[in-house]
Structure 1
Amino acid sequence: MNRRDFFKSAFSMGVGLVGASALKPLYANDEMKEFRGPDVPDVDAIKVSERCYSIPAMGPHPTPENFGMFSNPGFIVTSEGVVVVDTGSSVQIGEMILRQIKKVTDKPVVKVINTHFHGDHWLGNHAFVEANPNVEILSHQDCITTLKNGADKFWFDFMQSNTNNKITGTVITLPNKTFAGGEEFTLGDTTFKIHHFGKVHTSSDIAVEVKNDKTIFMGDMVMRRVANMEDGSYLGSIKALDAVSKMDLKNIIPMHGTPDDMKLILEGKEFMETIYNNVAELYDEGLSDFEMKPIISEKPFMQNVASKWPGYDSAIGKFIVVAIKEVEQNMF
């Protein structure tokens, strides 16, 4: 069997070459390009502030129709180059991000930052290494550790499954440098500050503040979407969002939902407080999760605000279950 027939056979059986080295891309020659997923259509970047841009998601959840483009990658244009915040769910999305950057500036990408380990925030790293093998890709150490412990393969498989294999060709490419939180650095005319508040949406969350623009990229620490909370903490989220609410900011850029002002932070904090505080009270009364759900759903904030967010109906029950676990953990 020649090499072409071998790869056709492998892919027809659903065999993914996930374990391949990121140093040698899967489609390193024209023959291999036959076995990659389709290109992602261009989504123009939205200018949020003088330096900061956000590329809107194509939907609230990963599907074959949106190619897994369900988060909002962002970038900051400085006088010395571009800093990218999150790279999407695939090499194809990463390539699309690079095309949008080129519409805005001819400056090179000098840093990539992954806000946490969920796959829609780092699987596109491959495209940036393809464009520049020496590019810095930074995250919190917990992000790298979690990915190396098996989350990398989990998230690749998750995105493949939910997109009907449209991320094929993506090589798992992990961050190569770390932030601990608290770092402040300058690139040309732009000053950045990195924030790590502890366990929020995950243990590895970092936020990227662009001080000149009074703008912050929040990752998934706040969003107008009811999604995955199983890796996070309600109390950690409340504490983090309270800290951000006291910062001098004009623009909040979430990775799900649209950019906004401080209202987004305040709504996110109230959402977490409404669930956690009510769960703690109802737990003391001996109620089960399915008994709690209608009571919490009747709260004014849930009815008037949160119930309109994508994922509310399908995920609110799970959010309550996760809150119960955290209440129980905090009892001891």
Structure 2
Amino acid sequence: MKRRDLFKSAFAVGAGLVGASALRPLYASDDMEFKGPDVPDVDAVKVTEHCYTIPAMGPHPTPDNFGMFSNPGFVVTNDGVVVIDTGSSVQIGEMILRQIKKVTDKPVVRVINTHFHGDHWLGNHAFVNANANVEIYSHQKCIDNLKSGQDKFWFDFMQNNTNNKITGTVITLPNKTFQGGEEFEVGGVKFKIHHFGKVHTDSDISVEVTTDKVMYMGDMVMRRVANMEDGSFRGSIDALGQISDMGLTTFIPMHGTPDDVKLINEGKEFMETIYSNVEVLYDEGLSDFEMKPIIMEKPFMKNVAAQWPGYEDTIGKFIVVAIKEVEQSMFA
């Protein structure tokens, strides 16, 4: 009997809810006496006519890089600037604002958070400080996750990993929502928002700058192996397949460098290589540590993914998550 069939016959289908006590976030006061150090300037890189990215200072948050380990982006239009992701702290948000001012004197008119992981929204504080009325957009599920305790979790995570260098950051949630499918224009530049369901998280949105044939990807694809615990392999494979057929020319990940559709195809092959092999090896009765060396010997993993930051340390965790998803699919 295949392991999959044995699993089905041995356990009844059931569902349970894991309870968790609600943690009240620690919001900084307006008269806070202490603040972490400023983040050194990292010049913005112009990717296309309207689109910019600010390169990360490292692949993981550390005291040395101040938690600046993702690539905030912004789009310059005739009427103002649209910011995509604001970094891990108020200090990073302030640094982003300084880089924008080097490029344009236009004001920031809209901020978009691609999902609820802390390196994509904790910098919101800086933008509210600069303009109390600024609109900060995300998917509703991003807000829901943050209000359920992820806000405090990510604040503490960044504090711990930077040796408290984000001190002074006030937890500042998005105040507007996108559900996906929205199309709008700012200063002659056209945008479209996409939500593909559960990909890296259930709250991911990507920002298509239609005018430039560019898509800011958030963390739905990256040349980095870091965190899949909130995501879906099958959701990622489906979403990246759709994106590869959109006819866009440039993709800007929040971890890694901008590229053409090769970035999307590599991300899809990475997810497919892990998930499809886990399905087969799971049915054969192998454990996660037995699967790992077999999967790591696959050509794509050896020739491409093994070069990505975090691969050696994290690939085992990806396999564990894939096993859970395979098991969940039995009862879908």
The C-alpha deviation readout for 1:219-259, integer Å capped at 9, x for no partner, is 00000000100000000000000000001211100000001
Paired letter, 1:302: M
Q: Distance in 1 between matches of 2:324 and 2:162?
A: 31
Equivalent residue for 1:202? 201
The C-alpha deviation readout for 1:182-241, integer Å capped at 9, x for no partner, is 000011210000000000000000000000100000000000000100000000000000
Equivalent residue for 1:325? 324
Equivalent residue for 1:40? 39
Q: Distance in 2 between matches of 1:310 and 1:66?
A: 15
Q: Is the 8 A contact 1:191 1:212 kept in 2?
A: yes
Q: Distance in 2 between matches of 1:25 and 1:265?
A: 43
Q: Distance in 1 between matches of 2:164 and 2:285?
A: 45
Q: Distance in 1 between matches of 2:151 and 2:255?
A: 21
Distance 1:73 1:309, change over 3 A: same
Paired letter, 1:216: M
Equivalent residue for 2:112? 113
Equivalent residue for 1:13? none
TM-score, reference length from structure 2: 0.92
Verify: 1:162 aligned to 2:161, yes or no. yes
Paired letter, 2:70: S
Paired letter, 1:19: L
Matching of residues 106-255 of structure 1 within 5 Å: 106-255=105-254
Equivalent residue for 2:26? 19
Verify: 1:305 aligned to 2:304, yes or no. yes
Gaps of 5+ in 1: 1-16
Equivalent residue for 2:6? none
Equivalent residue for 1:7? none
Q: Distance in 2 between matches of 1:91 and 1:149?
A: 22
Paired letter, 2:258: P
Q: C-alpha displacement at 1:176, in angstroms?
A: 0.1
Partner SS for 1:212: helix
Paired letter, 1:298: E
Paired letter, 1:237: S
Paired letter, 1:20: Y
Q: Is the 8 A contact 1:26 1:169 kept in 2?
A: no
Q: C-alpha displacement at 1:25, in angstroms?
A: 3.5
Q: Distance in 1 between matches of 2:156 and 2:329?
A: 33
Q: Is the 8 A contact 2:75 2:82 kept in 1?
A: yes
Paired letter, 1:309: W
Q: C-alpha displacement at 1:18, in angstroms?
A: 5.7
Q: Is the 8 A contact 2:275 2:322 kept in 1?
A: yes
Partner SS for 1:75: strand
Paired letter, 1:262: V
Equivalent residue for 1:83? 82
Paired letter, 1:179: F
Paired letter, 2:129: E
Distance 1:239 1:256, change over 3 A: same
Equivalent residue for 2:59? 60
Paired letter, 2:176: K
Q: Percent identity?
A: 78
Partner SS for 2:321: helix
Q: Is the 8 A contact 1:112 1:136 kept in 2?
A: yes
Runs of 4+ in 1 over 3 A off after TM superposition: 24-27
Gaps of 5+ in 2: 1-23
Partner SS for 1:67: coil
Kindly report the root-mean-square deviation, in angstroms, between the aligned alpha carbons of the 2 structures: 1.0
Q: C-alpha displacement at 1:19, in angstroms?
A: 2.6
Q: Is the 8 A contact 1:26 1:171 kept in 2?
A: no
Q: C-alpha displacement at 1:20, in angstroms?
A: 2.9
Q: Is the 8 A contact 1:296 1:302 kept in 2?
A: yes
Number of positions where the alignment pairs a residue of Structure 1 with one of Structure 2:
308
Q: C-alpha displacement at 1:26, in angstroms?
A: 4.7
